[in-house]
A and B are shown apart, each in its own frame.
Chain A
Amino acid sequence: TAGAPSSAWACLPDLLPLYYRRLFPFSQYYRWLSYGGVSKNYFQNREFSFTLKDDIYVRYQSFTTQNELEKEMQKMVPYKIDIGAVYSHRPSQHNAVKSGTFQALEKELVFDIDMTDYDDVRRCCSAADICSKCWTLMTIAIRILDRALREDFGFHHLLWVYSGRRGVHCWVCDDAARKLSVAARSAVAEYLSLIKGGEETVRKVVLSDPIHPFINHSLSVVERYFCQYAIVEQDILGSKESVDKVLALLPEDILSFPVVLSQYQYFTSRYQYQSNFTILSEIMLQYCYPRLDVNVSKGVNHLLKSPFSIHPKTGRISVPIDLKELNTFDPFEVPTISLICEELERPRADEAEDDDVKDKENEQEAGERRRIRDYKRTSLAKYVKVFDRFLEAMARSRKGEMLQKSDLQKDF
């Protein structure tokens, strides 16, 4: 564990400037949001919003170059950073634009999975708390959504990010995703939604025959984790209260099964009760299937917390998640700002750098080099690597597309 949250909060005014000066991966960040420079002014027309000290919130921030972005962030020292849409004009000049013509044009397709939305099905924590027992829900969510977005919808470039406290975000960065309309985004989000109903609904998942291939895929993921998660970790059959909650989801005639009393057996013996497979599936899905907020995904102009920003309440950095290591991802091992600032200060054995190289660089390059050396000394390094790989994949893809296009046009 790295740094108690309360101390992080108190230190933010001191740590944030250091973070933005020496650790925030500006060049990768700029590279991401420029998307290869294919569209003119893509970065310049992007909206950022900052929450400053004392909860002051400013929207419509935009920057013309990476350098300007750095300077402004170092000057304003935002506590929170959100990324919005790419607009028709520079957001910072939106007041000068004729009313009605300033419009959000493109943005990544995003998803926000928040652990609070599972409060009715987790016993270990509630509200903003999370623990290793309920984190499995995020693992399940990522596996299901990642597969569906890639295989069903054909998207390739997905960036999964830990929000810093109680959830995960997904940024779908494909060209086609960024150009989606509001209606399309909401349709994708609804396709991915299985949990329907608010406080007033008890049975939130209703499946009908035949079962759509998407649901089957999702069920096989849930089944893999269900026994470990629900029976063991959440112990849903461990108290009368929580057993009653499960029973409330069953149709009345099922209650006569005596085997319900034998906890673990009931679920493992489902193969004996094929006719009730649908009901069991509904229960498993209600406990484990991802709950996403459609409203976050559908707006083109919706602002979402930026990767690599800090979560002010926990001090943790919003880091990219490496899906190859998903099973071992531990939110409590994610570095906090105090940890990495501390790591920065530790003296290094190999401090002697090639000084001659330093002379030949200009100031910006030198700054970057220094920064690259800096974050590499901290726990942030491995997460920036994940980000790098993500960016490289997008670059390769863009190159491939351009070759395809020039082949079609017979350019040589």
Chain B
Amino acid sequence: MQFPGRRKKLIGSSQNDLYDHCLQFYGQPPLENISLTEFETFAVERLKLLKTVENLGVSCVKNSEQYTKKLDAEISSLNFPQKAELSEQKVQGGISEYEKRRKDHISHFILRLAYCQTEDLRRWFIQQEMDLFRYRFNDLHSKHKTDFLHKNNLKYETVSAEEKKSLQDKLIASSYGLSGTKVEEHDVYKVPFQDALDLVRTRKVYLLAGNAYIPHHEIVTIVLNDFRTRLSKALAMTARSLPAVQSDERLQPLLSHLSHAYVGQDYSIQKNIGKISLEQIDALSGKSFPLCMRHLHKALRENHHLRHGGRMQYGLFLKGIGLSLEQALQFWRSEFVKGKVDADKFDKAYAYSVRHMFGKEGKRTDYTPYSCMKVILSNPPSQGDYHGCPFRHSDPELLKQKLQNYKVSPSGTNQILELVKGMHYQLACQKYFELTHNVEDAGFSLNHPNQYFTESQKLLSGGRDIKKEVDMSQRSQENPASVTRPSQANSKQAHEEMGDLDSFFQDE
């Protein structure tokens, strides 16, 4: 059916329907055809955006002025939607708002293909998409928020005026930024607490008889919950239909590169197994371990014991630096036996979990050493624990003492504490690296304890000179792994395409 004139009009009206709100739930996949170039560009640019979302989430307080400014800038420079109204005039030579929304839509669905395959990838993707969605929803005017709820059929039960009045004081005491007038004038929603977990977890909401009472301005959390549930289900479904997509030779190399190159090295594949002897560990802990692992090692030596969280974080780190299973068993057993655990009990109770870490028990998943992000954000330590990130989880006073004990200069300690105050935990650890290794510039961007160790060893064995050389060699080490995967006739062509893509992945 080729009726150019009429066709244009049709597209015109469906355009308005499809992208009439700047925010969407990504319920419907795109139905149009796009070029391979657009496919690649869209995917890569969204990935850059999500990567920025991730970085800002760790280095700034979410929704602070700094966070907002930086994210705004990135969204703008990558041409993602920002304006609430479609009818905003197209900037001279720029891209229309409509086109930005289209890109938003399509790029999300492409990344679903790349990030649906494993639990870790899915978790990462959902986390960043949620943070991005939260940011964009909060940016909307109240009217547009309500519009969004209506358009997406999100009906939440509202609380009656009498109930609002009787609970007024309690509501004000539980919800941030709520006043008496706000309670009277705006809706308060009542949802089962299971639908408001983020607010429950942080105790930012009033609970009564199993219901959470959400003021209008907090409705984003409920919407986010919905968003997460839908996206999670959708990714599971996508994973099932993935084989069909992967068989397309044009797409497979790109999708594979997307999911590997950006999430970074995970130290899951052991290199240098057995190169380190157990006798070296004490010395290494002082020279080349990041503070968290040095702390854990010390606690283990002193108490001859570590609780589960500490065993996992430290044990996997040791695996990452190259300890073999036999060495690990010997290491843990010799230490625990000095404490209250006899060799028999160790073999029965603890050996199992060491083997588990190496993938020799149970699900036989080879557990990967924790990245800084994981250590900082999950499983905070409680009474009797020594794991976590000292820059994040220790009292500043105690941290200061510890740094002084480790002979860090007072000025250096202050620099570190300033970074900690600004919540730049990984930068603080990097500074610790610089101070303990006596270098001006660490020469790398710290995001993994094992990376700290590798870089330290490199430095101490005189294995590098200038920052740039290392970055280059690191990158060329990572890429061949993902490029050699598609062993097909047109792999040469894929290789050439890879060349172009590499330039997209340069770090700032």
Contacts and interface: CB of A to CB of B under 8 A. Distances in A.
A187 B193 CA distance: 10
A149 B172 CA distance: 22
B208 interface: yes
B386 A198 contact: yes
Interface stretch (B93-101, B198-206, B276-284): B198-206
A291 B383 contact: yes
B382 A187 contact: no
A169 B453 CA distance: 42
B398 A187 contact: no
A198 B383 contact: yes
B207 interface: yes
B194 A191 contact: no
Contacts of A195: 382-383
A212 interface: yes
B203 A214 contact: yes
Given A184-B194, A198-B386, A202-B398, A212 B393 contact: no
A153 B203 contact: no
Interface string A101-121: 000000000000000110110
B382 A196 contact: yes
A188 B197 CA distance: 8
Given A196-B382, A198-B383, A198-B384, A214 B207 contact: yes
Nearest to B381: A198
A184 B229 CA distance: 13
B380 interface: yes
A355 B282 CA distance: 75
B345 to A, nearest CB: 7
A57 B348 contact: yes
A385 to B, nearest CB: 29
B385 interface: yes
Interface in B367-425: 380-386, 388, 390, 393-395, 397-399
Contact of B193 (A120, A153, A200, A216): A153
A199 B387 CA distance: 10
Contacts of B201: 186-187, 190-191
Interface string A368-393: 00000000000000000000000000
Contacts, number: 106
Which residue of A152, A153, A200 has the most chain B CB atoms within 10 A of its CB atom? A200
Interface string A283-319: 0000000010111000000000000000000000000
A133 interface: no
B384 A117 contact: yes
Nearest to A189: B201
A155 interface: yes
Given A151-B208, A187-B201, A202 B383 contact: no
Given A184-B197, A190-B201, A155 B210 contact: yes
B173 interface: yes
A211 B203 CA distance: 10
B207 A153 contact: yes
Given A120-B383, A153-B210, A180-B194, A200 B394 contact: yes
A154 interface: yes
Contacts of B348: 55, 57
Contacts of B393: 197-198, 200-201
Contacts of B170: 213
B489 interface: no
Interface in A192-227: 195-203, 210-216
B380 A196 contact: yes
Interface in B316-346: 345
Given A196-B380, A202-B395, A291-B382, A190 B202 contact: yes
A303 B388 CA distance: 25
A200 B174 contact: no
Contacts of B193: 153-154, 184, 188
B209 interface: yes
B285 interface: no
Interface in A354-371: none
Interface residues of B, number: 37
B173 A199 contact: no
B384 A154 contact: no
B382 A210 contact: no
B24 interface: no
Interface string B265-299: 00000000000000000000000000000000001
A203 B396 CA distance: 11
B246 interface: no
Contacts of A293: 382
Interface in A28-61: 55, 57
B208 A152 contact: yes
Interface string A52-88: 0001010000000000000000000000000000000
B158 interface: no
Nearest to A184: B194
A367 B384 CA distance: 48
Contact of B397 (A151, A180, A202, A294): A202
Contacts of A180: 194
B398 A213 contact: no
Contact of A199 (B203, B209, B383): B383
Nearest to B206: A213
Contacts of A97: none
A176 B210 contact: yes
Contacts of A291: 382-383
A10 interface: no
Interface string A155-184: 100000000000000000000100011011
Contacts of B203: 190-191, 212, 214-215
Nearest to A176: B210
B386 A55 contact: no
A143 B393 CA distance: 30
B491 interface: no
Given A153-B207, A211-B173, A214-B207, A201 B395 contact: yes
Interface of A: 55, 57, 116-117, 119-120, 151-155, 176, 180-181, 183-184, 186-188, 190-191, 195-203, 210-216, 291, 293-295
Given A117-B382, A153-B193, A199-B381, 18 more contacts: A154-B208, A154-B211, A180-B194, A181-B194, A184-B197, A188-B193, A190-B200, A190-B201, A191-B201, A196-B380, A198-B382, A198-B386, A199-B384, A199-B386, A200-B395, A201-B395, A212-B173, A213-B174
Q: Which 3 A-B pairs have the closest CB atoms?
A: A154-B210, A198-B381, A187-B201
18 contacts: A57-B348, A117-B382, A119-B383, A151-B208, A152-B209, A152-B210, A154-B208, A181-B194, A188-B200, A195-B383, A198-B393, A200-B390, A200-B393, A202-B395, A212-B173, A212-B206, A213-B173, A213-B174
